[in-house]
């Protein structure tokens, strides 16, 4: 842990992030053209949509049969941007492979021929209604289906490449337990937040209590007494801005993923904050399709802990804005008040059954 060091500066300060010039989506780079399906005839490229820290465009073309076809292009900059595009490609490839009806098909990722500092992600274009929330009847069922179906092939948590939430790298280290995986996941977000917002004594003390007491108290019981958490593929940042409804099929779509193999309940963390439009009704609907993990009585606490990690990320992404840090501070206080007994306290009230009798 490095929370006691007020001068810690091991990560960049995010206010210095470079911006991708719009010029890079005004022409079709040779590397992107090579990534299009064989026989594709390029027609036009147009700015399309909005995305933080990147530029996005629609490529209009004709396929090998001279039928109109479109592709979605996302462009980022520098080494971080390269990691972002690679991580998104691998995430979307995994999601599309598990449930092609749920995620647009990725085609490629790479580096511009015309500028080695510019990197891209390319996938099929889906015309979506992103102004309305995905159907409450359909969307939770599809996510539950994904989580039942896409189990980690290695049996481990984590991911095979580094993925990014915004421009923040996550820790993909393969782990045998969900507690270890989440500990790594929230630790790196705390470190990003420290680099962004600076050291504060009370915040550091609260962080230490969350890591040493709250985290094992809420996560270890799920892997105690013969219970096991199954690592399943999650989108990783599933708020309404990363979802839409296919206008042609009416089926919900998910995109802009930063995946990992995780506890399925982790997926619902972005639905907790009041600022998000996907709220409690989606959580309730999902839990009707996918049973809550034991101990069931800890569900709300786990959901709050998972949401804390996302709020830490938000604080890290917006240096100089104290609102998210204040929110994180309040959430840590509540978690410590509710679960500060730690795992030992819980175990004293729930002794493990003996196996040597």
pLDDT in tens, 278-292: 889 999 999 999 999
pLDDT tens digits for 235-245? 999 999 999 99
107: pLDDT strictly greater than 80: yes
**280 CB contacts (<8 Å, ≥6 apart)?**
271
User: Which tens digits make up the pLDDT trace of 33-51?
Assistant: 999 999 999 999 999 977 7
* C-alpha distance from residue 8 to each of 61, 170, 210 (Å): 50, 19, 20
Q: Which residues contact 181 (CB under 8 A, 6 or more apart)?
A: 157, 158, 173, 175, 231, 260, 262
pLDDT computed for residue 17 by the predictor: 56
* pLDDT, average across residues 248-276: 94
How does strand 260-262 pair with strand 55-62?
unpaired
- Among positive and negative, which fits the CA dihedral 298, 142, 226, 270? negative
pLDDT of residue 8: 28
Handedness of CA 60, 63, 69, 74 (dihedral sign): negative
- Residue 275 predicted with pLDDT over 90: no
What number is the average pLDDT over the span 193-217? 98
Rounded Cα–Cα distance for residues 218 and 222 (Å): 8
Q: Where are the beta strands (DSSP E) in the chain?
A: 41-47, 55-62, 68-77, 106-111, 118-124, 128-129, 164-165, 168-169, 232-234, 243-246, 252-254, 260-262
Beta bridge partners of 72: 58, 123
pLDDT, one tens digit per residue, over 295-319 is 999 999 999 999 999 999 999 999 9
For residue 161, pLDDT over 70 is answered with yes
């Amino acid at each position: 842990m490095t929370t006691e060091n007020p001068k810690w500066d091991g990560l960049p300060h995010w206010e210095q992030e470079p911006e991708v010039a719009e010029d890079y989506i005004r022409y079709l780079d040779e590397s992107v053209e090579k990534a299009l399906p064989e026989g594709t005839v390029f027609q036009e490229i147009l700015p399309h949509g909005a995305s933080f820290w990147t530029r996005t465009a629609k490529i209009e073309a004709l396929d090998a049969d001279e039928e109109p076809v479109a592709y979605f292009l996302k462009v980022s900059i520098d080494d971080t941007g390269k990691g972002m595009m690679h991580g998104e490609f691998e995430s979307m490839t995994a999601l599309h492979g598990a449930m092609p009806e749920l995620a647009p098909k990725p085609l490629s990722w790479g580096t511009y021929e015309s500028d080695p500092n510019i990197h891209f992600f390319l996938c099929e274009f889906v015309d979506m209604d992103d102004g309305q929330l995905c159907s409450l009847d359909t969307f939770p069922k599809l996510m539950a289906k994904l989580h039942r179906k896409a189990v980690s092939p290695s049996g481990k948590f984590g991911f095979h490449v580094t993925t990014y939430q915004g421009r923040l790298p996550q820790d993909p280290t393969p782990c045998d337990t969900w507690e270890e995986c989440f500990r790594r996941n929230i630790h790196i977000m705390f470190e990003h937040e420290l680099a962004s917002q600076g050291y504060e004594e009370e915040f550091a003390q609260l962080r230490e209590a969350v890591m040493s007491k709250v985290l094992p108290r809420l996560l270890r019981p799920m892997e105690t007494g013969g219970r096991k958490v199954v690592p399943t593929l999650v989108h990783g940042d599933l708020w309404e801005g990363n979802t839409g409804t296919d206008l042609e099929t009416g089926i919900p779509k998910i995109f802009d993923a930063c995946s990992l193999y995780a506890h399925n309940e982790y997926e619902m963390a972005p639905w907790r904050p009041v600022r998000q439009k996907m709220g409690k009704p989606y959580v309730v609907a999902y839990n009707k399709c996918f049973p809550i993990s034991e101990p069931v009585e800890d569900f709300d606490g786990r959901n709050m802990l998972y949401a804390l990690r996302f709020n830490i990320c938000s604080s890290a992404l917006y240096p100089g804005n104290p609102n998210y840090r204040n929110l994180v501070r309040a959430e840590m206080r509540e978690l410590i008040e509710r679960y500060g007994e730690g795992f030992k306290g819980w175990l004293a009230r729930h002794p493990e059954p003996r196996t040597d009798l």
